[in-house]
Amino acid sequence: MEATSLRVFAGENIHARLPMASTTKAMTALVIIEKCNLSSVVTIPKAAVGIEGSSIYLRQGEKLTVKELLYGLMLRSGNDAAVALAIHAGGSVEGFVKMMNDKARQLGLKNTNFTNPHGLHDPNHYTSAYDLAVISSVAIRNPVFKEICSTKRVRISGDSEESIRDLYNKNKILSMYSGGNGIKTGFTKDAGRCLIASSLRENMQVVAVVLNRGDMWEECMRLMDYAHANYCMQKVADSTSPVGEVKVNNGKLNGTYIYSAPVYVERDMYYPLKKDGSEKVSISVSIPRSIDAPHDKSVSLGKMEVTFDNRLIFCEKVYTMVNIEKKNLRDKLRDFFGIKHRISYRAA
């Protein structure tokens, strides 16, 4: 999957509901980053101490920042860090789980349900490869999430010498794969080996997800190889090139009469397409035949829609990008007597 467009390049059984072990923590981290102050200090509660499975061995009463706990969550897969963060953000584990499920619904995920923030097995705790790829794609667009999950090693200090921990990332993709920048490993007996891998090459951020695969490293690298070999981000709309032209009634620009003006989108737009040029997008622009001066450049004239494979991928407002003045009485008299400077405004 490409992370900005959510385009799926390849997949098998991508909507099957499966347990996901510690890859759960991608959603835990995303919700925490969106809801919490990273510099807030968390006093570790008793409920977060001694959680089974992967741990950073938190002690009751010690103090760490939210960001330090996020490193413990994502690099060492600390289940205790997950519980400490959940209680901090949600007031309780149950309260935080509701936040996770609310986020899943917000993202439109149909095959995901959380019962805990760490991924220890529960029959009602599941996702699909597609849903987990969406969660991870949205998460890795966040610069804090990307920074944390791409960190190979970090020292966290906490509030005392006893709280100092050197954390090493379990994710081999960071070292094994060119451009590798995330995201999370996972394993339980019930879930099997799970991996969210990500890589950035030539401005294309790719996310690969496998659930219950013994060859998770090789399979994720194979999927990412396929994506990078066959697709690239291509500009489908240019903010410096007109996408259409509108007639202007009674208009002038910098003292010169104008009878038409080009319209533009405000930003460049990119979409992953095949490198061989075999894939094309369709563009349609909806604007009025004419406008009356004066016209403020901040007022949208209509929209541009970009579709691919009969699916809308962009819908952007269009603008003139210049303020158009209205002719005054003197200008109209000059028009009447044939003293005209007929031009159509075009951007340099």
Which residues are known to be catalytic?
Answer: 22, 25, 77
Q: Which residue has the tokens 């619904």?
A: 105
For 35-39, the CB contacts below 8 A with 24+ separation are 35/89, 35/99, 36/66, 36/85, 36/88, 36/89, 37/66, 38/65, 38/66, 38/67, 38/70, 38/144, 39/65, 39/66, 39/67
- How far is it between the farthest Cα atoms of the chain? 91
> Phi/psi zone of residue 328: left (φ > 0), alpha (ψ -120 to 50 degrees), beta?
beta
CA–CA separation, 144 vs 45, rounded Å?
25
3 state SS of 178: coil
Q: Is the peptide bond before 294 cis (omega within 30 degrees of 0)?
A: yes
Q: How far apart are alpha carbons 186 and 173 in whole angstroms?
A: 13
- Cα separation of 150 and 199, whole Å? 10
**Closest CA relative to residue 213, chosen from 186, 189, 192, 197:** 192
Amino acid at 265: V
- Please report, to the nearest 10 degrees, the dihedral formed by the alpha carbons of residues 78, 79, 85, 87 taken in order: -160
What contacts 12, CB < 8 A, 6 or more positions away?
Answer: none
Q: Is 297 buried (19+), middle (13-18) or exposed (0-12) by CB count in 10 A?
A: middle
